[in-house]
Amino acid sequence: MNSPIPIILDVDTGIDDAFALLLAAKHPGLNLLAVSCVDGNCPLVNVVSNTLSVLETAGRMDVPVLIGANKPLASESNYALAVHGTDGLGNLNLSPKSMKPVDADASEFMKDLILKSAEPITLIAVAPLTNIALLFQKFPEVKGNIERLVIMGGSASLGNATALAEFNIWHDPEAAQIVFSSDVEITMYGLDVFYDVHLSAIDIRKLQESELLPARIAGDIGAFIANILGYPITLGDAGAVCAVIDPLGLKVERFPTAVITDKGAARGMTVVDRRPYRDTVENERALADSKDVDVALGVDGARYSKLWLETILNH
Ligand code: RIB
Ligand code: CA
């Protein structure tokens, strides 16, 4: 039996961030060292409160919750309350009973955790990349003890926040550009797989009828999403955590990838150069400001749905 994988999870909780948090908190194959919060789906104050509520419900008050960036590096916040509810968590109006965030600078705390870890750490970011960019800028030495950065973000095809850009990248393109141009190994769990890990109406009923409170909370969040978007619902961010637990469930290919930060229609787009002949074109036509990224192009959705459900219904 391998030892649990040490991870730090960066969130903008968020309904599907809550699914990701529950899996990260409950799965025995992961060692959740900390959760960092960032402005994204909803204001940072809601992200922190929602994150505390979910971890407290999951019985994980031992996990440090960090207060990160309250706005993007170079643009205004753009919340997604129509999807996530006015409280950012499906209008469940939860609030933590006693769990508090850590009173420390998020970048500094993450740096200390990463540098003192005996094993390289896997960072999982399911939110705008503001915290990750600030960490890399302030403490570049952490990159030497990061196994991989798994990002829920980007797209090799269409967008969701705009026609071309996925929300987490679009919310802070400057941060994404800093992260994507770093020398850390990146897996991009983007929109090409994001919607393919489902929960059915029967799954939601099983969750809501569970004797486990975290499962019931997940079921209520799922029912909220289904009321807006119908069934099946997507586990969204949780798929990125599944990819760390069970990488064989994901089909990835390595492509040069760059982030557009211009102020035009393509702002926040991840340009993935999938041209088979790209290595033969003249250099001046190579994708500018790109780096090779492992891009997820396919996922075994049933495999990841089963992994998530079995964990939440049995732990
Ligand atoms: O585009 C999907 C991302 O945006 C997810 O992280 C989800 O939480 C939403 O904020
Ligand atoms: Ca998210």
- Position 285 scores a pLDDT of 78
**pTM listed for this prediction:** 0.97
Closest residue by Cα to atom 1, ligand 1, is 167
3-state helix, strand, coil in the chain (%, to 5): 40, 20, 40
**Test site for ligand 1: of 10, 84, 124, 152, most ligand atoms within 8 A of the Cβ:** 152
pLDDT at 260 over 90: yes
Domain that holds residue 302: 5-314
Angle between helices 106-116 and 130-138 (to 10 degrees): 70
- Closest atom of ligand 1 to CA, residue 191: 1
- Per-residue pLDDT of 95-134, as tens digits, reads 999 999 999 999 999 999 999 999 999 999 999 999 999 9
- Per-residue pLDDT of 31-85, as tens digits, reads 999 999 999 999 999 999 999 999 999 999 999 999 999 999 999 998 989 888 9
- Position 288 scores a pLDDT of 85
Query: What does the pLDDT average to over 272-277?
Result: 92
- Per-residue pLDDT of 215-255, as tens digits, reads 999 999 999 999 999 999 999 999 999 999 999 999 999 99
Ligand 1 midpoint to CA 282 (Å): 37
Q: Name the pLDDT band for 214 (thresholds 50, 70, 90).
A: very high
pLDDT at 154 over 90: yes
Ligand 1 midpoint to CA 117 (Å): 29
Place of tokens 């990159």: 143
- CATH number of the domain that residue 32 is part of: 3.90.245.10
Place of tokens 């993450």: 110
Assess whether the C-beta atom of 40 lies below 6 angstroms from ligand 1. yes
Degrees to nearest 5, angle at CA 11 with 8 and 14: 150
- Per-residue pLDDT of 133-144, as tens digits, reads 999 999 999 999
- Closest atom of ligand 1 to CA, residue 14: 8
Closest residue by Cα to atom 4, ligand 1, is 167
How many other C-beta atoms are found inside a 10 Å radius of the C-beta of residue 227?
Answer: 10
**Test site for ligand 1: of 126, 160, 171, most ligand atoms within 8 A of the Cβ:** 126
- Closest atom of ligand 1 to CA, residue 16: 8
pLDDT at 1 over 80: no
CB-based neighbours (< 5 A) of ligand 2, an ion: 12, 14, 17, 126-127, 237
Q: Name the pLDDT band for 16 (thresholds 50, 70, 90).
A: very high
- Better pLDDT: 283 or 74: 74
Nearest listed ligand to the Cα of residue 172: 1
Alpha helices per DSSP H over the chain: 15-26, 44-57, 81-84, 106-116, 130-138, 167-171, 173-180, 191-194, 201-208, 213-229, 238-245, 301-314
Closest residue by Cα to atom 5, ligand 1, is 237
Q: Which DSSP category does 64 fall into?
A: -
- Closest atom of ligand 1 to CA, residue 127: 6
- Closest atom of ligand 1 to CA, residue 40: 10
Mean of all residue pLDDT scores within the chain: 96
pLDDT at 279 over 90: no
Total of domains in the chain:
1
pLDDT at 271 over 90: yes
Q: How far apart are CA 258 and CA 247, in angstroms?
A: 23
- Position 295 scores a pLDDT of 98
How many other C-beta atoms are found inside a 10 Å radius of the C-beta of residue 278?
Answer: 14
- Position 55 scores a pLDDT of 98
pLDDT at 278 over 90: no
- Position 280 scores a pLDDT of 75
Buried b (16+ CB within 10 A) or exposed e, 32-69: bbbbbbbbbbbbbebbbbbbbbbbbbbebeebbbbbbb
- Position 302 scores a pLDDT of 98
pLDDT at 204 over 70: yes
